[in-house]
Amino acid sequence: MGICEQRTVIITGAGGGLGRAYALAFAAEGANVVVNDIRHDAAAEVVADVVAAGGHAIANDGDITSLAGAQGIVDAAVAAFGDAQVLVNNAGVLRDRMFLSLTEEDWDTVMRVHLRGHFCLANVLGRRWREQSKAGQKVEARIINTTSGAGLQGSIGQSNYVAAKAGIAGLTLIQAAELGRYGITVNSLAPAARTAMTEGAMPDMVKPPEQGFDAWDPLNVASIVVWLGSTQSSRVTGRCFEAKGGELSIADGWRTGRILDKGARWAPAELGPVVERLIAESIPPQKVYGT
């Protein structure tokens, strides 16, 4: 018996890449899978793969960027499988340009798919789970959000994507703090794997090796996502995981550093040496990707 037996998971952007890997991995652990993707044919192909392997899945092309669309996706999950316990917010899009070359459309498209897309389904499902909890039902719900190394450390030429992914990491903290009382855990993941996005950005780096372990195989990352979606992860919330190949870590985010307290107001002219001392005594930040 798998660790997600009889649990239903909604995975967005699941028509390929990481989303497809998550769908296959969840199904292999006994979960019912709602394969959501705006490309219905791609979603249907993943469903066919899941069913061929003995799993249960449905294809869905509902709009994740509206509450009405999100409600329709949840309704489809409930109609097919009775309920939904897990949400994997995976769908994403890129509009990469240097900051000064970005258009409003470049900015808004990335924000809509990533941030608004993360909001809508989580809001609809969160309200459903809250009602269940208040009615006395035991809730073992999970939200897994997708941030990225770019969102955690920055990435040249991706300021819109970086801002959205950093926002998702921050959103995860608030969701975890607010929703825990209803039996909902919320974690985020910064995955590194071979996808349409990474193949377009760095094809030589992510191509499969001729032999040996394929560190960029999306199924490597799927393991932690499935575990986070299971009942075994009930004590883990508000964390940001990074995963690639066989590597797994928990990101150590922004936190208050060394404090120098004068006990009175600082004069602007005296702050130079103070700031230099604080920087010297702090842990240097990771370098921005591309620098």
What positions carry a catalytic annotation?
148, 161, 165
> At residue 203, what is the residue type?
P
Within 13 Å and on the Cβ side, how many CA atoms surround 137? 13
CA distances from 281 to 25, 276, 277 (A): 44, 9, 6
Residues in the chain: 291
Token pair 């090796």: residue: 209
Dihedral-angle region of residue 74 (phi above 0 means left; psi in -120 to 50 means alpha; beta otherwise): alpha
